[in-house]
Chain A
Amino acid sequence: ETGVTQTPRHLVMGMTNKKSLKCEQHLGHNAMYWYKQSAKKPLELMFVYSLEERVENNSVPSRFSPECPNSSHLFLHLHTLQPEDSALYLCASSSGINSDTQYFGPGTRLTVL
């Protein structure tokens, strides 16, 4: 695998389910990001991790819980979601140095019923 990978690519869940999104980067980067992309809205930064420490949390509801066990892996744990949480969730990584380029994964298309 190369670059940034995300699994699953598609997920359908009910509002009472618990699920997790996984992101893995193969670039040797130190910073990882979660973004939410909804129709008709700009990409929204959700969380930033640098060297496995959370450095940014953009007022995201607690039903989204991130986890970064090491610099290569990032998870987004989901529970008690709402239909308006349906979106494309994108993971990205960067070297963590200055404003270096962020490299994006293909995303997980989430549908909440």
Chain B
Amino acid sequence: AQSVTQPDIHITVSEGASLELRCNYSYGATPYLFWYVQSPGQGLQLLLKYFSGDTLVQGIKGFEAEFKRSQSSFNLRKPSVHWSDAAEYFCAVGSILTGGGNKLTFGTGTQLKVEL
């Protein structure tokens, strides 16, 4: 069965500092990997996704993530954090459903706090 681990429940960084959020996955085949962000009272917004090809993926809002198969990791990074980045971040692994659509398995999320 597929699973995702986000080892950091809370992270606090200063505005302008760099950020790395960790994500480890367990999946038997080539994974489809996603990072979503959720602001309070909102749904989830896609930041970036990895399906195949280049292991360094660029996303919206200046985020990037690197797929490392040998480490089963898909860590999210941003070189300089803005106060508006404070939110909860979710990593997910996806698999295709036989009848159509796909199944996302999410981690428990990392709550990011940004200090001004």
CB-defined contacts of B42 to chain A, threshold 8 Å: 106-107
Residue from B34, B98, B108 in contact with A41 in the complex, judged by beta carbons closer than 8 Å? B108
Residue from B41, B49, B96, B103 in contact with A101 in the complex, judged by beta carbons closer than 8 Å: B49
A45 touches B99 (CB 8 A): no
Interface residue count on the B side (C-beta < 8 Å): 29
Q: Which residues of B contact A30 (CB under 8 A)?
A: 100-101
Q: How many A-B residue pairs have CB under 8 A?
A: 78
Taken together as a complex, chains A and B put the C-alpha atoms of A55 and B4 apart, in Å, by 23
A50 in the interface, Cβ–Cβ < 8 Å? yes
Q: Count A interface residues, CB 8 Å.
A: 32
Annotate B92-116 by CB proximity to A: 1 below 8 A, 0 otherwise: 0011111111111111110000000
The answer for the CA separation of A31 and B109 in the assembled complex, in Å, is 25
Within 8 A of A (CB), among B58-102: 90, 94-102
User: Which of B96, B98, B100, B109 is in CB contact (< 8 Å) with A42?
Assistant: B109
In the complex, chain A residues whose CB is within 8 Å of the CB of B34:
101
A56-B97, A99-B94, A101-B49 as given contacts; A107 in contact with B43, CB under 8 Å: yes
Could you say which residues of chain B place their CB within 8 Å of the CB of A43?
Answer: 90, 104, 106
CA distance A55 to B46 in the complex (A): 23
Query: Is A48's CB under 8 angstroms from B101's CB?
Result: yes
Tell me which residues from 59 to 113 in chain A have a Cβ below 8 Å from any Cβ of chain B.
90, 92, 94, 96, 98-107, 109
16 A-B contacts (beta carbon < 8 Å): A4-B43, A31-B100, A31-B102, A42-B4, A42-B106, A42-B108, A50-B101, A53-B99, A55-B101, A56-B97, A56-B99, A56-B103, A99-B94, A102-B46, A102-B102, A106-B42
